[in-house]
Amino acid sequence: MKATDISFNKNYYMSIFSEYINKNILLNISDELDASEKDLTDGYRQKIASFVNNMSQWYGITCDSIIAWVKDIYNIDVHLSDIELMGIYILFEQNEYELFGLAFRLEFEIEHGCGIKITINEGKYEIIEIGTGEVAF
């Protein structure tokens, strides 16, 4: 994805295709952010594009965290095939450090799914919070 490809519609989202997981996902900018109402800087767009393009670096750790969370909370064994990324939420202002929300569909828990907040700390992806779907927002 190129930074120049980022253009949200009036409902604050856009559909993107991820070659890494071979599916379309929604990219949303929170309507609670000032950034949702302003022109996005090139640097901001680049941060978003970089996160999407680096999915191979963070997708595995998020799925591993979901598997551990489900085992701990529900005492159920889930597998990668039970986890589906549905959306990426942009949760940071243009002058802030990156914070993204990830919404996952879980095969056994379709209604609530799983949500993750993830940031970049010293060049590494770090999960801040994991829980039911609303955590992603």
- pLDDT given at position 136: 95
Please choose, from the candidates 5, 29, 22, 25, the residue with its C-alpha nearest in 3D space to the C-alpha of residue 94: 29
Residue 133 vs residues 27, 42, 47, 123: alpha-carbon distances, Å: 15, 30, 23, 26
- How much is the pLDDT for 123? 87
Q: What's the pLDDT score for residue 42?
A: 94
List the structure tokens of 125: 């992806």
CA neighbor of 99 nearest in space, from 88, 108, 109, 107 = 88
What is the residue-level pLDDT of the chain in tens, covering all 137 positions?
Answer: 999 999 999 999 999 999 999 999 999 999 999 999 999 999 999 999 999 999 999 999 999 999 999 999 999 999 999 999 999 999 999 999 999 999 999 998 777 899 999 999 988 999 999 999 999 99
Report pLDDT for 109: 75
Q: What is the pLDDT of residue 111?
A: 79
